Chains A and B, each alone.
Chain A
Amino acid sequence: MKLYLQNFLKYKHLLRELVLRDIKVKYRRSILGIFWSLLNPLMMMIVMTIVFSNLFKIQIENFMVYFLTGQILFSFFSEATTIAMGSIVTNANLIKKVYIPKYIFPISKVLSSFVNLLFSLIAVFMIMLITKASFSATIFLIPVAFLYLLIFTVGVGLMLSVLTVFFRDMNHIYGIVILAWMYLTPIIYPIEIIPIKYLLFIKLNPMYYFIAFFREIILHGNIPSMELNLICILISLISLVLGLYAFYKNQNKFMLYI
């Protein structure tokens, strides 16, 4: 265990370089550069506000912020896991030729997406200012909310990257899964419209809790309950442990498949 930690520390420079590389390459060619991370959720929000804000019988207080808070978290999760899942296969060339701890690839991809999430956060603040939403001191809990989600996402990313090594068509399947998952997460609709009998579906959805946590501190200015905190911690740790375990068990076989 100590040895693994040492190894990880040795390669933290590489992790940083890989994340920097992703950001550089992603934004080098687009004129709007890093502002895409900001503009994208804003434009989505405008569309969604026009289409949905009057659709539901229950009025959502400050629909724009409600939507954005859910949207940026879910698109982070969706983007990060989708890129992470292919990361071992895409870096096959490197993995075959240099010794590098392989988990560095999915993790670096998740972290690159995480940087985008931080930019998207600016969009949330902008809209909060424009709509004159109240900022409460609980926004200082944002790092906690993001940390829970980050750990959960790393775990899922690790699991998916392992699966993709063995089954290359995973990405097609996952594209459908993530779409369904998005609709099953209360991002554009309020949870109150879900009939009681389907509520269990929502309650089994990990993303629901992370988004609820985030909305609690941004929209309602409440410190999330102990229960919600525990649920988030539990989910993210389970995901991380499963991800690391799946990765650790299979990583020596990767070379034979990539």
Chain B
Amino acid sequence: MKEEIIKVNGVSICFNLSRERIFSIKEYFVKRVKKQIGFEKFWALNNIALTINKGEVFGIVGLNGAGKSTLLKVISGILKPTRGTVVIRGTIAPLIELGAGFDMDLTAYENIFLNGAILGHDKKTMTGKLKEIISFSELQDFIDVPLKNYSSGMIARLGFSIATCVEPDILIVDEILAVGDYKFQEKCHERMKNMMNNGVTIIFVSHSTEQVKQLCTRAAWIEKGHLKMVGDADIVCNEFHKNE
């Protein structure tokens, strides 16, 4: 019955901190000559191994800078692991940040198609989903307004509506539900619940252990790039709390 949909095999991510600072050719040659190009390595993830099964709602907890977002980026293919591999079976809708890819000069209507294309949906799919997106985001009256005149909550509404309009196999949610007013948060939760019932696998990052306990079946606790614990969501969250 258990079908693996995500398999993370010993993944490590190394950021090269000192390299980041060289941004010009001049600087590069000056440092080269002075032999200043050091290699200050920073391992944001260290040998992480996880498997997530189909239909699971999987939580990730950890303090700021623990590496949660980095892990999500590796899973969604944005970052290539320095070591290790990730195997995915299915389509992913990464909600790492809502509205990444919106063009503020374009109207909401135009952004629906642009953002849809960014998520890999063609024009026909988006035309079909247009009504639903507009009604879910409740932005009927603002659809021909350029996004630069939107409030941040309105942008988040539109972003969530677009990102979830086509049901993916895997949904990745990185602390995005904190935006939007109370009413819209309820709506987002409901849509996620619906997806869970339809067997969508969800990876959920949140700083609210209450939410994780409530929504997730299993959870992982990451500390300073190391996988500290994996298991039943309640047990992991309680352990995490004790240590905090």
Q: In the assembled complex, which residues on chain B have CB atoms less than 8 Å from the CB atom of A13? A: 117, 121-123
Please classify how large the interface on chain A is, using the bins under 10, 10 to 19, 20 to 34, 35 or more: 20 to 34
A203 interface contact, C-beta 8 A: no
Stretch of A115-123, A166-174, A223-231 at the chain-chain interface: A166-174
Q: In the assembled complex, which residues on chain B have CB atoms less than 8 Å from the CB atom of A21? A: 103, 106, 110, 114
The reply to whether B77 and A256 form a contact with Cβ atoms under 8 Å apart is no
The reply to whether B20 and A94 form a contact with Cβ atoms under 8 Å apart is no
The reply to whether B101 and A94 form a contact with Cβ atoms under 8 Å apart is yes
A249 interface contact, C-beta 8 A: no
Q: In the assembled complex, which residues on chain A have CB atoms less than 8 Å from the CB atom of B19? A: 256-257
Q: Which residues of chain B from 27 to 53 have any CB-CB distance to chain A below 8 Å in the complex?
A: 28
The docked-state distance in angstroms from the alpha carbon of A173 to that of B26 is 11
Q: In the assembled complex, which residues on chain B have CB atoms less than 8 Å from the CB atom of A24? A: 106, 110
Give A249 Cβ to nearest chain B Cβ, in Å: 13
Q: How many residues of B contact A (CB 8 A)?
A: 35
A97 with B25, Cβ < 8 A, contacts A21-B106, A255-B79, A256-B15 known: no
Q: In the assembled complex, which residues on chain A have CB atoms less than 8 Å from the CB atom of B113? A: 17
B76 interface contact, C-beta 8 A: yes
Stretch of B2-10, B92-100, B179-187, B194-202 at the chain-chain interface: B92-100
The docked-state distance in angstroms from the alpha carbon of A60 to that of B28 is 47
Q: Which residues of chain B from 78 to 101 have any CB-CB distance to chain A below 8 Å in the complex?
A: 78-80, 92, 94, 96-97, 100-101
**SS class of chain A's interface: helix, strand, loop or mixed?**
helix
- Residue of B with least CB distance to A7: B120
A6 interface contact, C-beta 8 A: no
- Residue of B with least CB distance to A96: B78
Q: Which residues of chain A from 2 to 39 have any CB-CB distance to chain B below 8 Å in the complex?
A: 10-11, 13-14, 16-18, 21, 24-25, 28
B119 interface contact, C-beta 8 A: yes
- Residue of B with least CB distance to A251: B80
The reply to whether B119 and A98 form a contact with Cβ atoms under 8 Å apart is yes
The docked-state distance in angstroms from the alpha carbon of A119 to that of B23 is 37
The reply to whether A98 and B28 form a contact with Cβ atoms under 8 Å apart is no
The reply to whether B26 and A169 form a contact with Cβ atoms under 8 Å apart is yes
A98 with B122, Cβ < 8 A, contacts A168-B23, A252-B80 known: no
User: Which residues of A line the B interface, CB within 8 A?
Assistant: 10-11, 13-14, 16-18, 21, 24-25, 28, 93-100, 166-170, 173, 252, 255-257
18 extra A-B contacts, CB within 8 A, seeds A13-B123, A14-B117, A97-B97: A10-B120, A11-B120, A16-B117, A17-B117, A25-B106, A93-B100, A94-B100, A96-B78, A97-B96, A98-B76, A98-B101, A98-B118, A99-B76, A99-B92, A99-B94, A167-B25, A170-B25, A256-B20
